[in-house]
């Protein structure tokens, strides 16, 4: 189990187990996506600060968040649809931890445990008695959902079946079919449930339509209400994904395209191991364009990318924290691609940091400036430095010109490298050769450098 504490005076005074991180939620997410159980320990401020990350967290290994709550986070838990447990003494704290670690991976959401300062002091002892699954990090990018760890796939809501999962609380209730809030005395029969405001038992009988969820949830709901209608959410899912990509489209020039192209070549040459993990800022990716099917293989599983937009396995607003959470990974290389605008406090090795004008790099950092279109080989050298354990800063300069790319079919051997760039200006003609759409081409020259056969050149419009 990975235990990560927030760097907070409150947490440091009350809890001394585990390691510290600037962003414990990102570290816990990295552990969870590689099938490791994780425990993040926050105070109220940290919980609110990383609320967006928690709401979007996608869980494989159980992800449990304990909050030393000096305020009242219960309304927030209800708003984002995550289960929130409230232990009231040492025994109920142990029960809450067992419950959370047992069911977080089942409903695939983080579990929150709200602690008062007295219980926070007992947390380390309680955790030591919890048994969790294996610690070996494994990775499957399409675990139960194609592109599981990439935005905007993570934006697809599963609130309905998570809400219904809270009906599990009925198993704990001794004094009725609804729960009460607040710290109650242990001898109060209504306090026997750890959950905060779960769904009353009879609410399930009123449900008419449910977005289709996991088989586990379907069976639970049908046991109470056999007449419920399950609706296929695929069309809605695809609409949400298209709209999300439209919102984060970063324009005609993709600033990280050369980095991903270099990684694609290394992957195809087998130089990154059996199952590498590439984590990126969501602002440095493009839509994949490849249909990714769900996969249920619990072992390390890799899917060969078709183009550079398939290379990124996971996205996060703090990719450096996610890489820290993955830990000692033995099945391939690890690399994060991030911008200087993302949190850098958890920065370690194996990182390519793209310097942005709006977020200047720290003083004393060596930043290498390269042209997106004309210095591809230099970008690849920097990527290799990062893969070897370095942390490289690079400023990728845009290059536009009045020239347009042109393909000489006589030199083209259909290797597919230019197609793999995923550039919207590169089409495929009837014979399978690449064709440049001059209305989309901006003359950046990236495809010219990517072509090892010299079949693509920049020419003046009309001279092709």
Q: What does the pLDDT profile of the chain (464 residues) look like in tens digits?
A: 899 999 999 999 999 999 999 999 999 999 999 999 999 999 999 999 998 888 878 889 999 999 998 888 888 887 777 888 888 888 889 988 988 888 888 778 899 999 989 999 999 999 998 877 667 899 999 887 788 888 655 444 444 444 444 444 444 443 333 333 333 333 333 334 455 444 334 444 555 555 444 454 555 556 666 776 665 555 555 565 555 555 555 555 577 888 999 999 999 888 999 999 999 988 888 777 777 777 888 889 988 888 888 899 999 989 999 999 998 899 999 999 998 888 888 888 899 998 888 888 888 888 888 887 778 888 899 999 999 998 999 988 877 778 888 999 999 999 888 888 888 888 888 888 999 988 888 888 888 888 988 899 988 876 65
Q: How many residues does this entry show for the chain?
A: 464
**Assigned domain for 18 exists:** yes
Q: Does one domain contain both 379 and 408?
A: no
Pair (327, 425) in one structural domain: no
Query: Does residue 206 fall inside a structural domain?
Result: no
CATH number, domain of 75, equals: 3.40.50
Whether 385 is in a domain gets the answer yes
pLDDT tens readout for residues 307-323 = 888 899 999 989 999 99
Question: What's the pTM?
Answer: 0.79
Q: Are strands 351-354 and 314-315 parallel, antiparallel or unpaired?
A: unpaired
- Residue 210 included in any domain: no
| Same-domain pairing of 427 and 357 | no
Q: What is the Cα gyration radius of the chain?
A: 25
Please report, for residues 180, 205, 342, 422, the alpha-carbon distance to residue 198 in angstroms, rounded to integers and kept in the order given.
Answer: 9, 15, 36, 46
Is residue 420 located within the same domain as residue 388? Answer: no
Domain match, 188 and 322 both: no
Q: What is the number of structural domains in the chain? A: 3
Last residue of a domain, one of 356, 376, 397: 397
Domain coverage including residue 131 = 2-198
Cβ-based burial of 227 (10 A; exposed 0-12, middle 13-18, buried ≥19): exposed
- The residue among 198, 224, 243 that closes a domain is 198
**Are residue 187 and residue 267 in the same domain, yes or no?**
no
The two three-digit tokens of residue 255, written as one number? 């600033």
Do the domain assignments include residue 214? no
Question: 172 and 64 in one domain?
Answer: yes
Task: Based on the fold, state whether residues 9 and 158 are members of the same structural domain.
Answer: yes
Task: Choose among 78, 66, 77, 82: nearest CA to 130.
Answer: 66
Together in a domain, 92 and 173: yes
Domain final position from 346, 368, 397:
397
Give the CATH number of the domain where residue 423 resides. 3.30.70.20
Indicate if 21 and 132 belong to the same structural domain.
yes
Cα–Cα distances in angstroms (integers) from residue 233 to residues 107, 156, 206, in the given order: 18, 10, 20
Does any domain span residue 418? yes
Q: How many CA atoms, within 13 angstroms, populate the side-chain half-sphere of residue 163? A: 15
């Amino acid at each position: 189990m990975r235990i990560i504490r927030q760097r907070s005076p409150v947490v440091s005074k009350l809890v001394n187990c585990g390691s510290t991180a600037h962003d414990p939620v990102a570290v816990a997410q990295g552990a969870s996506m590689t099938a490791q159980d994780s425990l993040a320990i926050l105070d109220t401020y940290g919980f609110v600060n990383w609320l967006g990350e928690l709401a979007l967290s996608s869980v494989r290994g159980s992800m449990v968040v304990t909050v030393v709550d000096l305020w009242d986070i219960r309304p927030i838990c209800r708003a984002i649809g995550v289960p929130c447990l409230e232990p009231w003494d040492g025994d109920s704290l142990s029960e809450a931890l067992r419950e959370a670690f047992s069911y977080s991976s089942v409903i695939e959401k983080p579990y929150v445990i709200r602690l008062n300062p007295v219980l926070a002091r007992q947390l380390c002892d309680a955790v030591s008695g919890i048994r969790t699954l294996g610690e070996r990090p494994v990775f499957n990018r399409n675990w139960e959902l194609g592109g599981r760890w990439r935005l905007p796939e993570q934006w697809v809501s599963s609130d309905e079946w998570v809400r219904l999962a809270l009906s599990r609380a009925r198993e704990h209730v001794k004094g009725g079919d609804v729960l009460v809030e607040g710290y109650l005395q242990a001898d109060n029969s209504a306090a026997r449930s750890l959950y905060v405001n779960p769904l009353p038992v009879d609410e399930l009988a009123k449900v008419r339509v449910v977005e289709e969820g996991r088989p586990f949830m379907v069976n639970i709901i049908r046991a109470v209400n056999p007449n419920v209608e399950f609706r296929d959410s695929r069309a809605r899912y695809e609409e949400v994904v298209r709209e999300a990509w439209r919102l984060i489209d970063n324009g005609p020039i993709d600033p990280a395209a050369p980095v991903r192209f270099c990684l694609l070549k290394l992957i195809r040459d087998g130089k990154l191991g059996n199952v590498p993990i590439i984590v990126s800022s969501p602002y440095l990716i493009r839509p994949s364009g490849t249909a990714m099917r769900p996969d249920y293989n619990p072992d390390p599983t890799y899917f060969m990318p078709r183009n550079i937009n398939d290379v990124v396995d996971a996205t996060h607003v703090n990719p450096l924290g996610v890489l820290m959470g993955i830990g000692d990974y033995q099945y391939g290389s690890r690399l994060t691609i991030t911008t200087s605008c993302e949190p850098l406090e958890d920065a370690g090795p194996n990182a390519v940091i793209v310097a942005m004008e709006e977020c200047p790099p720290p003083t004393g950092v060596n930043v290498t400036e390269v042209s997106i279109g004309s210095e591809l080989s230099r970008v690849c050298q920097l990527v290799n430095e990062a893969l070897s354990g370095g942390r490289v800063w690079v400023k990728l300069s845009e290059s536009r010109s009045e020239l347009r790319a042109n393909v000489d079919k006589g030199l083209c051997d259909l290797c597919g490298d230019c197609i793999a760039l995923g550039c919207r200006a590169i089409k495929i003609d009837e014979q399978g050769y690449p064709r440049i759409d001059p209305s989309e081409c901006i003359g950046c020259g990236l495809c010219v450098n990517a072509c090892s056969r010299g079949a693509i050149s920049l020419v003046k419009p009309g001279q092709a």
